């Protein structure tokens, strides 16, 4: 996270430097001497304040990698950073301007009669806030770019693992078919019992494609007699997970879905999140970001 903060600080500082050099606010355009040094000094001061504010925001929200955070968390962090930067940098620039122009860092904190006033500081904070809007837009674009890049890399890695798994399963099936042509492999059936009469489903867990939770009911999609079938039982997803305990190929990919990763063909990334594409099934199965890592570990 520290490296990312340093990179973001450098980018923001360069933006501030270009803004000061091109727009020349705060009376810079009227300066006859020392203009470049003055601009470099303000840019350096901005870099220090941005780094400290970003570090403080990351510490407050316990962030390790900004691109892995949700959009809401990113917004909270950014608002916190901008608030800290606006208040701190406004005070720092006011002191810097007072020291540069008047030789007294606290000169602009007082009226002509020597009375302490906050008006110059609030005015400087307003200038900083206006500049921060452009910095915020830049960070938002950078955040979305990095997040999309990370998601594409993660999808690519998982799809590679899925391809390796399908290849391994194909080799195992071919090997078993060669070794036992006339031998029927014994099946370990499981029983899923729902509530009510005739609410029992007994099947080979390897034939389960996915399970979708619908309130107190669950739709179980599975293969039977070489056909895709659905059975709806009055049962919770938690109870089904207990019935399928020890079946490594069936994992929870979403709070409302269990999926058999042996039927997963590929993963895709869309605006609403990750989705799984299954063999022979049109339905796209959602994947929550919280369960993405567990799927990757199961495939490894």
Mean of pLDDT values over 129-148: 84
pLDDT(211) > 90 = yes
- HEC string of the chain equals CHHHHHHHHHHHHHHHHHHHHHHCCCCHHHCCCCHHHHHHHHHHHHHHHHHHHHHHHHHHCCCCCHHHCCHHHHHHHHHHHHHHHHHHHHHHHHHHHHHHHHCCCCHHHECCCCCECCHHHHHHHHHHHHHHHHHHHHHHHHHHHHHHHHHHHHHHHHHHHHHHHHHHHHHHHHHHHHHCCCCCCCCCCEEEECCCCCCEEEECHHHEEEEEEECCEEEEEEEECCEEEEEEECCCHHHHHHHCCCCCCEEEEECCEEEEHHHEEEEEEECCEEEEEECCCCCCEEECHHHHHHHHHHHC
Mean of pLDDT values over 61-74: 78
pLDDT(4) > 70 = yes
pLDDT(181) > 50 = no
Are 20 and 28 spatial neighbours (Cβ–Cβ below 8 Å)? Answer: yes
pLDDT(180) > 60 = no
Mean of pLDDT values over 162-184: 73
pTM assigned to the model: 0.66
**Rounded to whole angstroms, what are the CA distances from 264 to 136, 238, 250?**
39, 22, 11
Mean of pLDDT values over 58-67: 80
pLDDT attached to residue 134: 83
Q: Dump pLDDT digits (tens) for 188-209.
A: 789 998 888 778 899 999 999 9
pLDDT attached to residue 272: 67
Q: Dump pLDDT digits (tens) for 28-62.
A: 888 878 889 988 998 999 999 999 998 998 888 88
Q: Dump pLDDT digits (tens) for 215-260.
A: 889 999 999 988 999 999 999 999 999 999 888 889 999 999 999 9
């Amino acid at each position: 996270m520290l490296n990312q903060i340093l990179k973001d600080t450098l980018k923001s500082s360069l933006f501030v430097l270009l803004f000061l050099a091109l727009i020349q606010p705060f009376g810079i355009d009227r300066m006859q001497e020392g203009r470049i040094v003055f601009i470099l000094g303000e840019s350096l001061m901005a870099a220090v304040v941005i780094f400290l504010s970003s570090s403080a925001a990351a510490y407050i929200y316990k962030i390790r990698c900004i691109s892995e955070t949700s959009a809401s968390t990113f917004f909270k962090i950014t608002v916190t950073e901008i608030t800290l930067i606006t208040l701190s940098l406004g005070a720092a620039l006011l002191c810097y301007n007072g020291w540069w122009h008047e030789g007294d860092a606290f000169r602009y904190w007082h009226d002509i009669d020597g009375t302490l006033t906050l008006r110059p500081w609030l005015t400087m904070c307003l200038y900083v806030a206006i500049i921060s809007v452009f910095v915020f837009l830049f960070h938002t674009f950078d955040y979305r770019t990095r997040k999309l890049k990370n998601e594409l890399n993660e999808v690519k890695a998982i799809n590679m693992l899925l391809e390796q798994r399908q290849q391994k399963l194909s080799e195992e099936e071919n090997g078993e078919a060669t070794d036992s042509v006339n031998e029927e492999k014994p099946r370990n059936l499981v029983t899923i019992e729902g509530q009510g009469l005739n609410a029992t489903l007994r099947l080979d867990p390897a034939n389960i494609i996915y399970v979708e939770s619908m309130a107190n009911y669950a739709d179980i999609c599975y293969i039977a007699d070489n056909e895709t079938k659905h059975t709806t039982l009055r049962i919770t997803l938690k109870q089904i997970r207990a019935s399928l305990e020890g079946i490594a190929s069936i994992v929870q990919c979403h709070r409302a879905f269990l999926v058999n990763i042996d039927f997963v063909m590929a993963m895709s990334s869309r605006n609403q999140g990750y989705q799984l594409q299954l063999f022979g099934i049109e339905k796209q199965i959602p994947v929550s970001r919280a369960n993405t890592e567990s799927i990757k570990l199961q495939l490894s």
